[in-house]
Amino acid sequence: MNEDSSVKISNKEEARSPVCIGREDDIKKLRRTTATVHNREVVVFYHDGSFYAMDHRCYHAGGPLHLGEIEDFNGQPCIICPWHKYKITLSTGEGLYQTINPRDPTVAPKWKSKGIKQRTHKVNVDSGNVYVTLSDLADNIDSDYYAEKFKKAINSPMKK
Ligand code: FES
């Protein structure tokens, strides 16, 4: 193992360590909050007695998910992106869409999954504090593009 690979491993391990994002009581009252976890913007929701964390920026075009409404679709709680109303399941990050049959309007529309589009993260509560652990970033998920784009925007020096 050379020095470079050991640095990469330790950075990767550090990126998977939990980060405290606030007090449990405060986040339950707010019902949602945003935080930066190892340089990545996340949004945390408290909905129906459970915490959920995902990338803050919508996979479609970067909409700010903390401003969306939560509704149940197909029996799953979803965040509705405020920009173009895409529906994303809170627990898995799947994009949902409704199919219709234009030739037969009497057929009831059905909900389908586009697959996992929004990266979700793990939430733990310990001693009244809420911790977020980033998911394994090895595989590409659509929301990674905007997570990186907004990371660069936040970290770029202000131009005078
Ligand atoms: Fe979220 Fe378009 S940016 S639906």
Alpha-carbon distance values, 83 to 2, 79, 113 (Å): 46, 12, 20
Ligand 1 centroid to 38 CA: how many Å?
24
Per-residue pLDDT of the chain (160 residues; tens, 9 = 90+): 444 444 454 566 677 899 999 999 999 999 999 999 999 999 999 999 999 999 999 999 999 999 999 999 999 999 999 999 999 999 999 999 999 888 888 988 999 999 999 999 999 999 999 999 999 988 999 999 999 998 866 666 654 4
3-155, CATH topology level: Rieske Iron-sulfur Protein (2.102.10)
Rounded (5°) CA angle 112-49-45: 65
Instruction: Give me 71's structure tokens.
Output: 């509704």
Which residues contact ligand 1 via a Cβ below 6 A?
58, 60-63, 81, 83-84, 86
Listed residue (67, 65, 70) closest to 55, CA to CA: 65
